Amino acid sequence: MMSTPLNLFNMFDYSQHMYGDKWIVTRTPTGVHRYQYRDFGQRVRQLSAALRSLGVQPGDRVGTLAWNDFRHLEVYFAVPLMGAVLHTINLRLSPDHIRYIINHAEDRVLIVDEGLLPLMDTLKDQLPTVEHLIILGPDPDPGQSPIKPAHSYEALVNGADPSMAAYDPDWPEDQPLGMCYTSATTGNPKGVVYSHRGIFLHSMAMGLANTAALSESDTVMPIVPMFHVNAWGLPFAAIWFGANIVMPGLAPTPRDLVHLMATEGVTVSAGVPTVWLGVAKVLEENPTPLSLRMALCGGSAAPPALIQTFEETFGVPFVHAYGMTETSPLATFSRLKSTLADRPAAERLAVRATQGLLVPGLFMRLVRDGQDIPWDGESMGELWLRGPWIADEYYHDDRTRESFEGGWLKTGDVATINPEGYVHLVDRTKDLVKSGGEWISSVDVENALMAHPAIFEAAVVGVPHPKWDERPLAFVVLKDRRTATKEELLEHLAKIFPKWWLPDDILFLPEIPKTSVGKFMKRTLRDQYRDYLTPQDG
């Protein structure tokens, strides 16, 4: 067989030849911008030519700080097609982390939304590798840029000759296409590099009927930001397979999203649970006919009630997917197998609420103490992943050895896998409570506590215990004007869990400490209460 490489050129060239008349639509502050693939392709080539004239070479990193729009999409293709590396930067991180990321990746060029120039101002003179700043927007003034030299994106693109793009159809598939940094529990973000081969295969996986079945008959709207693991890979797959694309632009409200879905005939959209909660609220208040065939949800687990609302009230299939920056990200996808179609509704919902089945092309293991454990739906182990779109290291980072072992990625997620192959995440490894050699899922106990009518929030952590190594401690916040006693809550839990799962104590707090993105800071609780169950010698 031919050794034709699996690269982005293959996908782009195909898309341009087969689907030149498909549409890319962007919500902008001044209305809706729309153009066809063939115009997109022309501008992609122009941008590559312009970057080349700025001195960008194959292998160079080009950073982006931008929302979801057509210009960012052009950058997505123009940079890797010329052999350079698309480095999407999470603009919601702290300026310190953004500075670290740009310097660690050694970005030579930054392409940023006009609205982010104030952020650039805080970083100026601290980005030694950055040689050019390119400003996105309809008509930005490079004179306003705190970093020099600066260029207007539109001026660069319009002034370039597309025939100078000089793409190499045989660009090797193992070369880097892009990179993305993921937040670490402690310390600086960690970089993951995506190869052409990885993105090609990941895109193919998104077109499979067994997974997202992206096709030319779809209109795809990625709500997930393009700085989050390549908007879950949707832009690459959607363009390859000829779907229309709708870009929600800067800071869309749930009402904006529903409006776009309705007016543009969106069939597939993707976002985190909070986005879908917002969309559900709008749809409940203003029932709107949609052509949505799939609401794709990832980032964290969606409550079963949300799945139910979408499927039963709105008639929209709501699909869970799971992955992480290290997995490109699609790793599991929660479709109901045809063989389970006649199970009772509650069972079907329970299956749909899992993280789903492994995506074809990947391998998984469930590992505990270095041993594979059974896929019985009950045994808990760390989920390990392997496959052609799974990272094998962090970019220039010693923390690689903590997360990769023997050719596998240790996800840090604790899961069960049932005999059908459905993965159900139960906890993060570091949040598990290890009691007497057994594992207790802090998440399960928290969810049970939060199901109690008096509880607003609950967090469960393991703290050292002289006999059992660790025991669970629970922290709860009561709802306004509600009360509950510790005994009452323990009784509530005892109906659900074995006795040894019950927390050794339940502490009532006015609030649970949280991170900047709203996650419980369990590490703070663990540190603060580390001696709570240990007898003190004085």
Q: Active-site positions? A: 182, 326, 434, 439
CA distances from 372 to 79, 324, 326, 367, 446 (A): 41, 22, 22, 5, 27
Q: Which stretch binds its own copies (CB under 8 A): 63-71, 197-205, 222-230, 254-262?
A: 197-205
Nearer to its own copies, 1 or 346 (CB): 1
Q: Which stretch binds its own copies (CB under 8 A): 6-14, 315-323, 452-460, 465-473?
A: 6-14
Q: 3-state class of 315 per DSSP?
A: coil
Q: Out of 172, 377, 421, 436, which residue is the one contacting its own copies (CB under 8 A)?
A: 421
Answer yes or no whether residue 11 interacts with its own copies by CB under 8 A.
yes
Answer yes or no whether residue 10 interacts with its own copies by CB under 8 A.
yes
User: Residue 209 class from Cβ within 10 Å (0-12 exposed, 13-18 middle, 19+ buried)?
Assistant: exposed
Nearer to its own copies, 67 or 200 (CB): 200
Q: At closest approach, how far in Å is the CB of 327 from its own copies?
A: 10
Q: Out of 84, 116, 133, 204, which residue is the one contacting its own copies (CB under 8 A)?
A: 204
Q: Out of 67, 227, 389, 439, which residue is the one contacting its own copies (CB under 8 A)?
A: 389
Q: Out of 26, 46, 48, 195, which residue is the one contacting its own copies (CB under 8 A)?
A: 195
Q: At closest approach, how far in Å is the CB of 505 from its own copies?
A: 41
User: Which of 141, 132, 118, 172 shows the shortest CA–CA distance to 50?
Assistant: 132
Answer yes or no whether residue 163 interacts with its own copies by CB under 8 A.
no
How many Å apart are CA 186 and CA 508, to the nearest integer? 27
Q: At closest approach, how far in Å is the CB of 393 from its own copies?
A: 9
How many Å apart are CA 101 and CA 338, to the nearest integer? 45
Answer yes or no whether residue 194 interacts with its own copies by CB under 8 A.
yes
Q: At closest approach, how far in Å is the CB of 234 from its own copies?
A: 14
| 168-174 contacts, C-beta under 8 A, 24 or more apart | 168/9, 168/83, 169/7, 169/9, 169/10, 169/13, 170/4, 170/5, 171/5, 171/7, 171/8, 171/9, 171/83, 171/196, 172/5, 172/7, 172/196, 173/5, 173/6, 173/7, 173/197, 173/200
Q: Out of 8, 12, 22, 522, which residue is the one contacting its own copies (CB under 8 A)?
A: 22
In DSSP terms, 179 is beta-bridged to 87, 193
How many Å apart are CA 167 and CA 436, to the nearest integer? 60
Answer yes or no whether residue 420 interacts with its own copies by CB under 8 A.
yes
The secondary structure of 343-366 as a DSSP string is: S-HHHHHHHHTS-BEEPTT-EEEE
User: Which of 307, 239, 232 shows the shortest CA–CA distance to 269?
Assistant: 232
- Contact code string over 221-260 relative to its own copies, x by CB under 8 A: -------------------xxx------------------
Please state the φ and ψ torsions of residue 135, each to the nearest 5 degrees.
-105, 125
User: Which of 5, 176, 49, 18 shows the shortest CA–CA distance to 106?
Assistant: 176
| β strands within 53-107, DSSP E | 61-65, 85-88
Q: Which stretch binds its own copies (CB under 8 A): 60-68, 333-341, 426-434, 498-506?
A: 333-341
- CB contact at 8 A, 506 and 436: no
Nearer to its own copies, 240 or 520 (CB): 240
Answer yes or no whether residue 395 interacts with its own copies by CB under 8 A.
no
Q: Out of 66, 133, 179, 205, which residue is the one contacting its own copies (CB under 8 A)?
A: 205
User: Which of 465, 325, 467 shows the shortest CA–CA distance to 403?
Assistant: 325
In DSSP terms, 403 is beta-bridged to none
Q: At closest approach, how far in Å is the CB of 147 from its own copies?
A: 32
Q: Out of 407, 494, 515, 527, which residue is the one contacting its own copies (CB under 8 A)?
A: 407
How many Å apart are CA 52 and CA 47, to the nearest integer? 8
Q: Which amino acid is at 216?
A: E
Considering CB under 8 A, how many residues would be counted as binding its own copies? 57
The residues in 357-386 that bind its own copies, with binding defined as CB under 8 A, are 357-358, 360-363, 375, 386
- CB contact at 8 A, 321 and 300: no
Q: At closest approach, how far in Å is the CB of 530 from its own copies?
A: 37
Dmax over CA atoms of the chain, in Å, equals 79
Q: Out of 94, 163, 338, 483, which residue is the one contacting its own copies (CB under 8 A)?
A: 338
17 is written with which tokens?
């030849």
How many Å apart are CA 221 and CA 291, to the nearest integer? 12
Q: Which amino acid is at 326?
A: E
- CB contact at 8 A, 520 and 451: no
Answer yes or no whether residue 346 interacts with its own copies by CB under 8 A.
no
Q: Out of 122, 210, 253, 300, which residue is the one contacting its own copies (CB under 8 A)?
A: 210
Q: Which stretch binds its own copies (CB under 8 A): 104-112, 140-148, 160-168, 388-396?
A: 388-396
- Contact code string over 253-292 relative to its own copies, x by CB under 8 A: ----------------------------------------
**Binding-site ranges for its own copies (CB under 8 A):** 1-4, 6, 10-11, 13-14, 17-18, 21-22, 169, 174, 193-195, 197-198, 201, 204-205, 207-210, 213-217, 240-242, 328, 337-339, 357-358, 360-363, 375, 386-392, 407, 409, 420-421
